[in-house]
Amino acid sequence: MNNEELLAAILDCVEYGKVNKESPYPLAMKGRDGADELTRDALAKGVPPADILNEALIKAMDRVGQKFSEKKIFVPQMLVSAKAKNSALAHLKPYFSSGEVKRKGRFIIGTVSGDLHDIGKNLVSMIVEGAGWEVIDLGVDVSSRKFGESLIKYPDAVVGLSALLTTTMVNMKTITRELKNINPFVKVIIGGAPVSDAFRADAGADGYARDPQGAVVFLNSLTKQK
């Protein structure tokens, strides 16, 4: 395969969740090399790692996120795509460390204090990382102090707040206010089942996402403003 064919093959593997040759899923690709082997081969053949990230992984996860938004696929399909993406990313990690491949930016995310739900947060993390961002996942039940400490450590980061309960979504207001006190220029995006854009405005946040792809759209809009 030439470079373009390799990139297209990696894209397909990530989009449809073909992790490696041993992976039985999807059935139509059984026995074929997966994202793991193809990424390794592409690097060995001199395909620029930035091309693998931008032309294969980011495009694949963008398609996955869009399909999820349109309810054409569901959580299990997203998870296998994320696993395939991670198998390819593992080969690119040295190039991130060396600076040869650059991320679009940093994204701090966590489920707010009092809330232990993490499925939505995890899905956003997967899609955002696949879109070319470095993700700092703080986990669940994250206090204002922990968000603030992370922002101080990564002052250029965008912050994402997640909540699933109406009783905990109110904590987004407090956390957003304290983050803005630390850095008035920080961009905060919120999301979760009970959250709305009207609540976003009331909380003083900068963005609202109803699904993972919405978070990517917001983050990418910030890179265009620079």
Kindly state whether residues 214 and 131 are assigned to the same domain. Answer: yes
Q: Alpha-carbon distance 205 to 177, whole Å?
A: 9
**What is residue 213's predicted lDDT score, i.e. its pLDDT?**
94
Kindly state whether residues 218 and 159 are assigned to the same domain. Answer: yes
Beta bridge partners of 213: none
pTM: 0.88
Indicate the burial class of 167 (C-beta count within 10 angstroms; 0-12, 13-18, 19 or more). Answer: exposed
Kindly state whether residues 75 and 118 are assigned to the same domain. Answer: no
End-of-domain residue from the set 98, 114, 132: 98
**What is residue 97's predicted lDDT score, i.e. its pLDDT?**
84
| 3-state SS track over 73-124 | CCHHHHHHHHHHHHHHHHHHHHHHHHCCCCCCCEEEEEEECCCCCCHHHHHH
Q: Write the single-letter amino acid at 40.
A: R
**What is residue 226's predicted lDDT score, i.e. its pLDDT?**
61
End-of-domain residue from the set 80, 98, 116: 98
Kindly state whether residues 126 and 214 are assigned to the same domain. Answer: yes
The rounded radius of gyration (Å) of the Cα atoms in the chain is 18
Q: State whether residue 136 is helix, strand or coil.
A: strand
Kindly state whether residues 123 and 161 are assigned to the same domain. Answer: yes
Q: Is the backbone of residue 156 left (phi > 0), alpha (psi -120 to 50) or beta?
A: alpha
Instruction: Give the mean pLDDT per block of 10 residues along the chain (226 residues).
Output: 96 97 94 97 96 96 94 94 96 90 95 95 94 96 98 98 96 98 98 96 97 95 81
Kindly state whether residues 92 and 61 are assigned to the same domain. Answer: yes
End-of-domain residue from the set 81, 98, 115: 98
Kindly state whether residues 125 and 175 are assigned to the same domain. Answer: yes
**What is residue 225's predicted lDDT score, i.e. its pLDDT?**
72
Q: Say if strands 158-162 and 188-191 run parallel, antiparallel, or are unpaired.
A: parallel
The answer to whether the beta carbons of residues 45 and 6 sit under 8 Å apart is: yes
In the sheet that holds 106-111, the strands lie side by side as: 134-137, 106-111, 158-162, 188-191, 207-209
Q: Say if strands 188-191 and 207-209 run parallel, antiparallel, or are unpaired.
A: parallel
**What is residue 57's predicted lDDT score, i.e. its pLDDT?**
96
- Which domain covers residue 147, as residue numbers? 106-225
| Total domains, the chain | 2
Helix H or strand E segment including 131: none
